[in-house]
Amino acid sequence: MPADPSTLKYRALLETSEAFITCREIDSLVRTLWNALQPVIRFDYLSVVRYDQGKGVGWLEASAGADLGLPVGASLPLEGTPAEIVLATGQPLYIADLRAEARFRPDVAQLIASRGLLSGYWAPLARGGKHFGSLGFSSRSLDAYPPGDRELMDHIARQVTIAVENALAFEQIEELRKKFEDEKVYLEEEIRAEYRFDEIVGASAPVRAMMQQIETAAPTDSTVLIQGETGTGKELVARAIHQLSRRNHGTFIKLNCSAIPAPLLESELLGHEKGAFTGALAQRIGRFELAHRGTLFLDEIGEFPLELQPKLLRVLQDGRFERLGGSRTIQSDFRLVAATNRDLRSMVAAGRFRADLYYRVNVFPIPIPPLRGRREDIPKLVRYFVQEFATRMRKEIESIPAESMAALVNYSWPGNIRELRNVIERSVILTAGKRLEIPKDALSESAGVADGRVLPLAEAERRHIIEALESAKWVVGGPRGAAALLGIKRSTLQSRMEKLGIKVARGMTDS
């Protein structure tokens, strides 16, 4: 014996109530509604449309039944649609004969007619003054929904509203969770990379001038463009700016524009939603979003693809963007620090870099001197790296031969500090005793020529001895004196000092 209509409605309400409790995804909820309500309500198409009132755009959240040719997630302009009428009135919309409806856009009316839909009922999804969208039932029958069915559909819509509100809350929680997880992974990677942001080694005039510029720019929150050759330490300067800024409590997010293929760079910056493109198996938060309230460091910005530069410029102007495949506008408050080893002005003139983007990033330029332009810092850097690698490798290296230091000071260092660091690391690995041994093939040039002047060996040796004396507080002999640091006898050092005209105050020759 078939069940009476009241019993069917009771069963349908019970089944849908259980679905509202267990379903966190609107798509699975709509499928449950389709199966549970079919025995009690005549409909051939069921849909949930969500919309953003601020942008005036809706999207198909979920659907079941007749194929309207609209993929889930498809953007739906509200103008001339049932959703617009429901949003404007805040009341349910019932149309007994869709063929006579004149308020729809021609393409919307044509789509409805092509699927043979003749009547429909749309209930608002609204709660607490917030409008989330609409729940729509459509039928291939005329005047398909009597008052009793519409009352049931209103009740279902109220339940769907709560489900949509909960789904939004879960989405926000999931986004925050993923953001924190992404930040955690990123920060763990940063810790493993052992970067230092407060150990810029050197006291030469170019370095002091650079540090003064860093201290001037850091508190301003303005965009900084770091200019320097490869290996000069642009990232170290960027981290110093971040640490000295008001954003030092936030995350330092970096991206090397030359290391990521152009097709992937947009997704890397903006992020993407699940299914945004082939291979997008999960939602990904982009670097713009991760840098919120922190600093975004774009290294090698001169390599940024020309076709993506307008999108970068728009984000830099107002901090607003949308993930690929998404419709929700995201606001990110980040400070941009860019770096390049290219001449951006020449690239602008050649049409390879947008002028408006150049002016946007070149607010406060900070040039970094090449290593050959700060040779007096080389002995300090050498000792710094020797100590670092010797400690790491558990070796006792106590001295650096004067001739080795002279060779290091005179080398042109086309790879700058990065090359110097690599040379010292290799040297420490190969050193068997307590005196640093630099491989003969480590330096491919005999002297530095990039600045147009080769340092004479006597001058390089003189500088090296003075550096050793300064480190030893001008003590020549003893276990911590300059002679011990240089790995030579005190008498040999005194002889060379006399030859080079280096004088020490009386009483400072011994420890």
> Pairing between strand 252-256 and 224-227?
unpaired
Looking at residue 197, its pLDDT comes to 40
Number of neighbouring beta carbons within 10 Å of residue 192: 8
Q: Where in the chain is the domain with CATH 3.40.50.300?
A: 194-369
Residue predicted with more confidence, 412 or 184: 412
Q: What is the mean pLDDT of residues 410-427?
A: 91
* Per-residue confidence band for 96, with pLDDT thresholds at 50, 70 and 90: very high
124-128, 235-239, 291-295, 331-335: least confident range: 124-128
* E strands, 228-368, in order: 252-256, 271-272, 284-285, 295-299, 320-322, 329-331, 335-340, 364-367
**Token pair belonging to 339:** 């770096």
Residue 256 C-alpha from the chain's centroid: 10
Looking at residue 293, its pLDDT comes to 92
> Residue 47 carries which side chain, given as an amino acid letter?
S
Number of neighbouring beta carbons within 10 Å of residue 92: 16
Q: Where in the chain is the domain with CATH 3.30.450.40?
A: 5-170
Give residues with Cβ within 8 angstroms of 2, minimum separation 6.
none
What is the Cα–Cα distance from 413 to 447, expressed in whole angstroms? 9
Which CATH fold topology does 372-500 show? Helicase, Ruva Protein; domain 3 (1.10.8)
Please write the tens of the pLDDT for every residue from 68-83. 777 776 677 788 889 8
Q: List the one residue out of 487, 368, 465 whose CA is nearest residue 409.
A: 465
> Is residue 267's pLDDT more than 80?
yes
Number of neighbouring beta carbons within 10 Å of residue 297: 27
Q: Is the CATH code 3.30.450.40 the one for domain 5-170?
A: yes
* Per-residue confidence band for 23, with pLDDT thresholds at 50, 70 and 90: low
What is the Cα–Cα distance from 333 to 456, expressed in whole angstroms? 52
User: Highest mean pLDDT: which of 265-269, 274-278, 361-365, 478-482?
Assistant: 361-365
Number of neighbouring beta carbons within 10 Å of residue 198: 9
Please write the tens of the pLDDT for every residue from 205-214. 899 899 999 9
- Mean pLDDT, the chain, as a whole number? 81
What is the Cα–Cα distance from 381 to 191, expressed in whole angstroms? 22
Output b/e per residue, 363-383; b: 16+ Cβ within 10 A: ebbbebbbbbbbbbbbbbbbb
Looking at residue 19, its pLDDT comes to 55
- What would the DSSP string read from start to end of 127-177? ETTEEEEEEEEEESSTT---HHHHHHHHHHHHHHHHHHHHHHHHHHHHHHH
> Is residue 187's pLDDT more than 70?
no
* Per-residue confidence band for 196, with pLDDT thresholds at 50, 70 and 90: very low
3-state helix, strand, coil in the chain (%, to 5): 50, 15, 35
> Is residue 297's pLDDT more than 60?
yes
> Residue 46 carries which side chain, given as an amino acid letter?
L
**Token pair belonging to 27:** 């798509």
Residue predicted with more confidence, 376 or 24: 376
> Is residue 221's pLDDT more than 70?
yes
**Run of H or E residues at 224:** strand 224-227
Are 295 and 305 in contact by the 8 Å Cβ rule? The answer is no
- What would the DSSP string read from start to end of 101-140? --SS-HHHHHHHHHTT--EEEEEEEEETTEEEEEEEEEES
Are 168 and 132 in contact by the 8 Å Cβ rule? The answer is yes
Q: What is the mean pLDDT of residues 211-227?
A: 93
What is the Cα–Cα distance from 107 to 80, expressed in whole angstroms? 9
Q: Where in the chain is the domain with CATH 1.10.8.60?
A: 372-500
Looking at residue 121, its pLDDT comes to 94
DSSP state of 325: T
Q: List the one residue out of 263, 284, 264, 265 whose CA is nearest residue 273.
A: 284
Indicate the CATH number for domain 194-369: 3.40.50.300
Are 135 and 156 in contact by the 8 Å Cβ rule? The answer is yes
Looking at residue 11, its pLDDT comes to 62
Looking at residue 64, its pLDDT comes to 81
Q: List the one residue out of 294, 317, 330 whose CA is nearest residue 221.
A: 294
What is the Cα–Cα distance from 509 to 242, expressed in whole angstroms? 44
> Is residue 506's pLDDT more than 60?
no
> Residue 92 carries which side chain, given as an amino acid letter?
P
* Per-residue confidence band for 356, with pLDDT thresholds at 50, 70 and 90: very high
* Per-residue confidence band for 180, with pLDDT thresholds at 50, 70 and 90: low
Give whole-number Cα distances, 130 to 30, 48, 151, 162, in Å. 21, 16, 22, 11
129-138, 141-150, 300-309, 496-505: least confident range: 496-505
Are 411 and 404 in contact by the 8 Å Cβ rule? The answer is no
Sign of CA dihedral 141, 103, 123, 162: positive
Percent of the chain with pLDDT over 90: 32
> Residue 163 carries which side chain, given as an amino acid letter?
A
Looking at residue 443, its pLDDT comes to 83
> Is residue 13's pLDDT more than 90?
no
Q: What is the mean pLDDT of residues 175-202?
A: 59
Looking at residue 335, its pLDDT comes to 95
Q: List the one residue out of 442, 494, 491 whose CA is nearest residue 465.
A: 494
Looking at residue 291, its pLDDT comes to 92
Residue predicted with more confidence, 148 or 263: 148
What is the Cα–Cα distance from 478 to 490, expressed in whole angstroms? 8
What is the Cα–Cα distance from 295 to 336, expressed in whole angstroms? 6
